[in-house]
Chain A
Amino acid sequence: MVEMRHISFYFLFLLFLTSIASAQLGEQGGPLVFNVTLGGSETLNYTILNAGSSTINFTVELPILNTIPNNETPIVKVYPMNGTLAPHSQQVMHVTVFMPAKDKPGLTWSGGYAKGTSGIAVVEGSPSIVSGGMGAVVYAAILKGIIIKSAKPPINILLIVGIVLLAAIIVAGGTLYYYYRKRAVAKAKKELRAKELAELKARARGKARKAVKKKVRARPKAKAKARKAKARRRAR
């Protein structure tokens, strides 16, 4: 039988046991700040803690971010989404943000810093049962504020090199084409000129030949003419 004078002691002892056995969920301080390129993703880690002497089962609630008109809200994924934290243990949480490719750069979304938004909630899942009347089960949680900024994709050196290479090929190709075309035209012109020259020469040669022939043909006539003139003179 418990003596009445010991009740206060037992109560205090029970209070002490309750206090040392209470769960103590914690988290690494400070917000998670993401700087994600359009169409890309980024992963950051943070640690949740159980500094108490009892096990904590936890579930994760994804953050609620503000919305920006005409832009898609980035997608946030957290791993693990639930688990168990042994007494005096730690758990690294991996948070990955996927940035829509069509969003504008330089935009900022946040969770946990503006009305209607929330950070990543790690909720301690050990509810007690409320019996009778209007009852509420109270859960402890820790919130991790999140800030996400959209950034232009970094300059792709390979792409630039590719473009420069392509431009160089086009310019070189164009130059070569122009050079060979010019050369071909010049050659054709030269050939044409040579042909024309040959024709002219041939023509000239033909004319000369004709003149010679004419001369040759004209020679007997002249002789005959001279003979006739001589004969006429003799006849006189």
Chain B
Amino acid sequence: MKSKNFNWLVTVIVAALTFSALLLLSSSNVGATSSNSTVSASVNVPGTLYTDISPNSITWTNYPKYANDTNTLITVSDQNGNIPGNIFIWGTATLSNALNGNSIAIGNVLWNPTALTSYAGNAVTTSQVDTLIVVAAPTISTPTTSSPIYLGVSIPAGTPSGLYTGSIYFDIENGTIYSSQPSSNTLSVTVNVLSTCYISLNATSINFGTVLSGANTGTTWNGILDSDPGGNLQATIYVAGTNWIYSSNTAISFYVANTVYSGTNTISYSQAYPSNSLSLYPTFESTSLTVAAPTQATPTTSTKIYFGLGVPGGAKAGAYTQNIIIANQC
């Protein structure tokens, strides 16, 4: 007779007993913490400030000696803070151009609490300045509060053309409480300086005095100082003139080419005539003289141009007048 194998039954019974034991153990642990009790919660919410600005970057474009009015709006916001604070402002020392190695001092950037139609206000410095512009405390119903601040810039004379970049920083502060900056409080500033040249003449008339008919001014020259007060490009000097007109009878005249120009006053009239004779306006003649490009260190550059005159023989005695036009081209 074949005996039956009951090992499988023994295994099932042992497993069932083990599972029951574990279940009992775990249920006894749960029972240990299931008693009722009261939890007292407390939280301390400190006075908090945050600073955000909009926009985060601005670009100003202008010429040397020109300024952008103090009306570029920057909105300084406190989002999710809970106390009021004042806006503080400061910046990098300069707005710099890495390509030409020049810079614009940060003091050329002005701030003001209100928009202005002129370049006016307070200079931005490298140290934090309290603008006294208040940003109100945010509340649960108004979680974001903000205040405006306006900026402007002036481009110093002789600043070379190019892009100048720097940063201006903002912070909302209340006594010793400074703001956290969850996003950004840095304004990236770019100033695009355009190329230009100016002309300014130190005299607007020349009196050649008395010149005899058939004679000339010889080695006596009348100089006009041609200046560039603040541009950033080298300019070439061009000249033109009108015919000499008799003062009491406009029908009487002699030719413009009797007037000559020179870059020096050490030569004689005959050395300049006719190669350096003036051409009849509006045709300008290049003198090949230049006015150097001003720089921030030398914001005004100048070149003197001299004029001499020969009176043709037979010219009627009396006073004659002429227009001379000195032009800078850059």
Within 8 A of A (CB), among B198-256: 198-211, 224, 229-233, 238, 240-241, 244
Assess the A118–B284 pair: CB atoms within 8 A.
yes
Binary interface encoding of chain A residues 137-156 relative to chain B, with 1 for a CB under 8 A from any of its CBs, else 0: 11111111100000000000
Within 8 A of B (CB), among A115-168: 115-119, 121, 123, 126-130, 132-145
Residues in B neighbouring A23, C-beta threshold 8 A: 200
Q: Is A24 an interface residue (CB 8 A)?
A: yes
The smallest beta-carbon distance between B236 and chain A, in angstroms, is 8
Assess the A133–B284 pair: CB atoms within 8 A.
no
Residues in A neighbouring B203, C-beta threshold 8 A: 138
Q: Which of A27-35, A77-85, A173-181, A194-202 contacts B (4 or more CB under 8 A)?
A: A27-35
Assess the B206–A136 pair: CB atoms within 8 A.
yes
Assess the A128–B284 pair: CB atoms within 8 A.
no
The smallest beta-carbon distance between A158 and chain B, in angstroms, is 39
The smallest beta-carbon distance between B160 and chain A, in angstroms, is 11
Q: Is A101 an interface residue (CB 8 A)?
A: no
Q: Is A25 an interface residue (CB 8 A)?
A: yes
Q: Is A225 an interface residue (CB 8 A)?
A: no
The smallest beta-carbon distance between A63 and chain B, in angstroms, is 9
How far is B280's CA from A61's CA once the two chains are assembled, in angstroms?
A: 13
Assess the B199–A141 pair: CB atoms within 8 A.
yes
Instruction: Give which listed residue, A24, A27, A137, contacts B330 with CB less than 8 A.
Output: A27
Q: Is B86 an interface residue (CB 8 A)?
A: no
How far is B244's CA from A116's CA once the two chains are assembled, in angstroms?
A: 21
Give the contact-size bracket for chain A.
35 or more
Q: Is B128 an interface residue (CB 8 A)?
A: no
With contact pairs A29-B233, A133-B208, A134-B210 given, residues A121 and B325 touching in the complex (Cβ less than 8 Å):
yes
Assess the B205–A143 pair: CB atoms within 8 A.
no
With contact pairs A28-B196, A51-B230 given, residues A123 and B325 touching in the complex (Cβ less than 8 Å):
yes
The smallest beta-carbon distance between A18 and chain B, in angstroms, is 9
Q: Is A86 an interface residue (CB 8 A)?
A: no
Q: Is B282 an interface residue (CB 8 A)?
A: yes
Assess the B207–A130 pair: CB atoms within 8 A.
yes
Instruction: Give which listed residue, A118, A126, A140, contacts B283 with CB less than 8 A.
Output: A118
Assess the A135–B319 pair: CB atoms within 8 A.
yes
Q: Is A217 an interface residue (CB 8 A)?
A: no
Count contacts on B: residues with CB < 8 A to the other chain: 55
How far is B307's CA from A137's CA once the two chains are assembled, in angstroms?
A: 12
Residues in A neighbouring B209, C-beta threshold 8 A: 133-134
Q: Is A74 an interface residue (CB 8 A)?
A: no
How far is B326's CA from A61's CA once the two chains are assembled, in angstroms?
A: 14
The smallest beta-carbon distance between A98 and chain B, in angstroms, is 20
Residues in A neighbouring B286, C-beta threshold 8 A: 115
Instruction: Give which listed residue, B200, B211, B319, contacts A22 with CB less than 8 A.
Output: B200
Q: Is A26 an interface residue (CB 8 A)?
A: yes
Q: Is A64 an interface residue (CB 8 A)?
A: yes
Residues of A in contact with B (beta carbons under 8 Å apart): 22-30, 47, 49, 51-52, 61-62, 64, 88, 90, 112, 115-119, 121, 123, 126-130, 132-145
List of 9 A-B pairs having minimum Cβ-Cβ separation, nearest first? A29-B195, A26-B198, A141-B327, A143-B329, A134-B208, A61-B282, A51-B65, A29-B233, A118-B284
Complex A-B: 26 CB contacts under 8 Å: A22-B200, A22-B229, A23-B200, A27-B196, A29-B195, A30-B195, A49-B196, A90-B63, A118-B240, A123-B327, A127-B205, A128-B204, A129-B205, A134-B210, A135-B322, A136-B208, A136-B321, A137-B204, A137-B322, A138-B203, A139-B325, A140-B199, A140-B326, A141-B326, A143-B238, A143-B329
Supply 11 further A-B pairs (C-beta < 8 A) apart from A24-B199, A135-B208, A138-B201: A25-B200, A28-B194, A29-B231, A123-B325, A127-B323, A130-B205, A136-B324, A138-B323, A139-B204, A143-B238, A144-B329
